[in-house]
Chains A and B, each alone.
Chain A
Amino acid sequence: DAGITQSPRHKVTETGTPVTLRCHQTENHRYMYWYRQDPGHGLRLIHYSYGVKDTDKGEVSDGYSVSRSKTEDFLLTLESATSSQTSVYFCAISSTGRDEKLFFGSGTQLSVL
């Protein structure tokens, strides 16, 4: 299995609180991605990174920010969580950006009450 660790595995929080999810990889891969998975929508890209301090928005980026200060860590922050952000969040990595399969972490189940 690819060396990807997501933390926390589960989190329950209240509306309006900030939340940070962490993705840590030991593969030294250049590209990292955050997806969310919801029933009826499948996996949707939130943000991705193509190097340290290089990030860009995905399909559903509103309400989320990311940071990548080291190759191995990619943080996803919900500045003020809302109930619509209740979801399962997956981090993924790839070594190149062209024709490359993604390896996924085990996910974080986030519930916003």
Chain B
Amino acid sequence: EDKVVQSPLSLVVHEGDTVTLNCSYEVTNFRSLLWYKQEKKAPTFLFMLTSSGIEKKSGRLSSILDKKELFSILNITATQTGDSAIYLCASPGDGTASKLTFGTGTRLQVTL
């Protein structure tokens, strides 16, 4: 059974702090790892990682994958209150459909 585990479960930081969110996985025939941000409604896509050691970056967010140690991290620098959300990581299982197995998420709260 595929498994994705995220840590910490929740996190409270002050605006301007840098945070690191963790995601470990055990997935048969690994293909990719995806990060999503969920505010009030639908999860929105952030990154898809397929290769080890190659950082993906979008503004203050960045992510990297380690396929040897089976984990990924999501970094957010200079956090803002708008970064408050649940961050989800997921990986597709084997087969022809993108059936994502999700972690339970990290709830990030950024305070003033």
A residues in contact (CB < 8 Å) with B: 31, 33, 35, 40-45, 48, 50, 56, 58-59, 90, 94, 96-107
Contact = CB atoms under 8 A, between A and B. Distances in A.
Interface in B32-76: 32, 34, 41-45, 48, 50
Contacts of A56: 97
A101 B97 contact: no
A111 B97 CA distance: 29
User: 6 closest pairs, A vs B, by CB?
Assistant: A104-B42, A42-B104, A43-B102, A97-B97, A42-B102, A97-B96
Nearest to B32: A99
Nearest to A43: B102
A38 B107 CA distance: 14
B31 interface: yes
Given A42-B102, A44-B102, A107-B41, A99 B31 contact: yes
A48 B96 contact: no
Given A48-B97, A58-B99, A102-B98, A41 B45 contact: no
Q: Is the interface of B mostly helix, strand, loop or mixed?
A: loop
Given A90-B42, A103-B45, A104-B43, A98 B104 contact: no
A48 B41 contact: no
29 contacts: A33-B97, A33-B99, A35-B102, A40-B104, A42-B88, A42-B102, A42-B104, A43-B90, A44-B102, A45-B100, A45-B101, A48-B97, A50-B96, A50-B97, A56-B97, A97-B95, A98-B96, A99-B31, A99-B92, A101-B45, A102-B45, A102-B98, A102-B100, A103-B45, A104-B43, A105-B42, A106-B41, A107-B41, A107-B42
B98 A97 contact: yes
Contacts of A58: 99
Contacts of B44: 104
Contacts of B96: 50, 97-98
